[in-house]
């Protein structure tokens, strides 16, 4: 069932000792450039470097002892894999992570360091799913989907809950959208708390499947997405699509040039590290200043796992 505000608040209570309470930062120089007042919720400082750790912990807390004894499994080459691995280790549970053979070395190392059991597959969707099915049927591990799961969505919603509790009412809250776990959770937490706040999804124009899906009322798969924002190349799931359709005000797309500019602006002015996906909301503001002029705007900085060997402005 779609989480309501009470459930999100309960989830927050149950995971809050396991997660970092991340800071809300402001930058007077970025406010000046943007022409509005921005509150950055810094999930780049979350454990494992991304908001995904919230949902992963909530998923683990939802399992029975019998399920926990069998372990958890997922396929991911990104932040969900690291988040599930660490959340599982902290619960004393095995995590089986299916990763493509060509996954970036830093991502593989992160999962290893957090104690995840990596099973490599070929870099195709088919191989991923087959390998995951093998792991699940052999070990009885419980599959934890990276976003199309109400427990995950409710967990991700707690970032926006903390944000609006700290700032009070905002005019806008913006989150990036890939599979939609963060955006659907953010939309629920914000709209159920104050229906006057507008929630906006920010999406790369080179991976605009969510924009088109919401526009046309049906899920388009993300086919050959082309964007530097590697966390946002996924298609929506049925659950995230349904929530975004009902609770998100609109989706704004923005091109990679602007995404890279916004990422660098945050590096230079705030002295904090974000990954490209996290720069999309600020890029959306800077490309649409007239919409946000003078408004109190919350932005979820989703993660900080940038690849320092391949910063996008090189």
Member of 21, 66, 216, 308 binding a second copy (CB under 8 A): 308
Start-to-end Cα distance in the chain: 45
Please report how close the Cβ of residue 20 comes to a second copy at its closest, in angstroms: 10
Triad 126, 131, 137: Cα angle to 5°: 125
Given the complex with a second copy, which of 229 and 273 has the nearer CB atom? Answer: 273
Q: Is 233 in a helix, a strand, or coil?
A: coil
Number of CB atoms found within 10 A of residue 226's CB: 10
Given the complex with a second copy, which of 208 and 261 has the nearer CB atom? Answer: 261
Measured CA to CA, the distance from residue 17 to residue 7 in angstroms comes to 17
Given the complex with a second copy, which of 109 and 124 has the nearer CB atom? Answer: 109
Binding segment for a second copy (CB under 8 A), chosen from 75-83, 88-96, 137-145, 303-311, is 303-311
Q: Is 32 in the site for a second copy (CB under 8 A)?
A: no
Please report how close the Cβ of residue 29 comes to a second copy at its closest, in angstroms: 9
Member of 16, 212, 264, 296 binding a second copy (CB under 8 A): 264
Site for a second copy in 36-55 (CB under 8 A): 44-45, 49
Instruction: Tell me the number of residues near a second copy by CB under 8 A.
Output: 16
Measured CA to CA, the distance from residue 304 to residue 286 in angstroms comes to 21
Q: Which two tokens stand for residue 23?
A: 């800071």
Strands 24-25 and 37-42: antiparallel
Site for a second copy in 217-246 (CB under 8 A): none
CB burial of residue 85 (10 Å; 0-12, 13-18, 19+): buried
Tokens 């919720």 -> residue: 41
Binding segment for a second copy (CB under 8 A), chosen from 58-66, 184-192, 205-213, 272-280, is 272-280
Contacts with a second copy, residue ranges (CB under 8 A): 44-45, 49, 264, 267-268, 271-274, 304, 308-309, 311, 313-314
């Amino acid at each position: 069932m779609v989480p309501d505000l009470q459930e999100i608040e309960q989830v927050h209570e149950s995971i809050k000792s396991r997660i970092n309470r991340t800071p809300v930062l402001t930058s007077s120089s970025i406010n000046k450039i943007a022409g509005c007042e921005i509150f950055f919720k810094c999930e780049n400082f979350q454990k494992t470097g991304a908001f995904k750790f919230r949902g992963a912990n909530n998923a683990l807390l939802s399992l029975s002892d019998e399920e926990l004894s069998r372990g958890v499994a997922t396929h991911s080459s990104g932040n969900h894999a690291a988040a599930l691995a660490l959340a599982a280790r902290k619960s004393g549970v095995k995590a089986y992570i299916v990763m493509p053979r060509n996954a970036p070395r830093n991502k593989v190392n992160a999962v290893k360091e957090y104690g995840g059991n990596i099973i490599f597959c070929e870099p195709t969707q088919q191989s991923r799913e087959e390998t995951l099915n093998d792991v699940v049927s052999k070990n009885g591990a419980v599959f934890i989907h990276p976003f199309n799961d109400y427990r995950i969505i409710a967990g991700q919603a707690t970032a926006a809950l903390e944000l609006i509790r700290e700032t009070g009412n905002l005019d806008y809250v913006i989150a990036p959208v890939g599979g939609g776990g963060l955006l659907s959770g953010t939309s629920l937490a914000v709209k159920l708390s104050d229906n006057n706040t507008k929630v906006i999804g920010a999406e790369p124009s080179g991976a605009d499947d969510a924009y088109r899906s919401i526009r046309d009322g049906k899920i388009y798969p993300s086919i050959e997405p082309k964007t530097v924002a590697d966390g946002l190349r996924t298609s929506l799931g049925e659950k995230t699509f349904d929530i975004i359709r009902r609770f998100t005000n609109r989706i704004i797309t923005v091109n990679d040039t602007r995404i890279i500019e916004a990422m660098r602006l945050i590096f230079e002015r705030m002295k904090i590290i974000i990954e490209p996906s996290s720069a999309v909301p600020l890029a959306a503001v800077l490309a649409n200043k007239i919409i946000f002029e003078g408004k109190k705007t919350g932005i979820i900085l989703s993660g900080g796992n940038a690849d320092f060997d391949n910063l996008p402005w090189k």
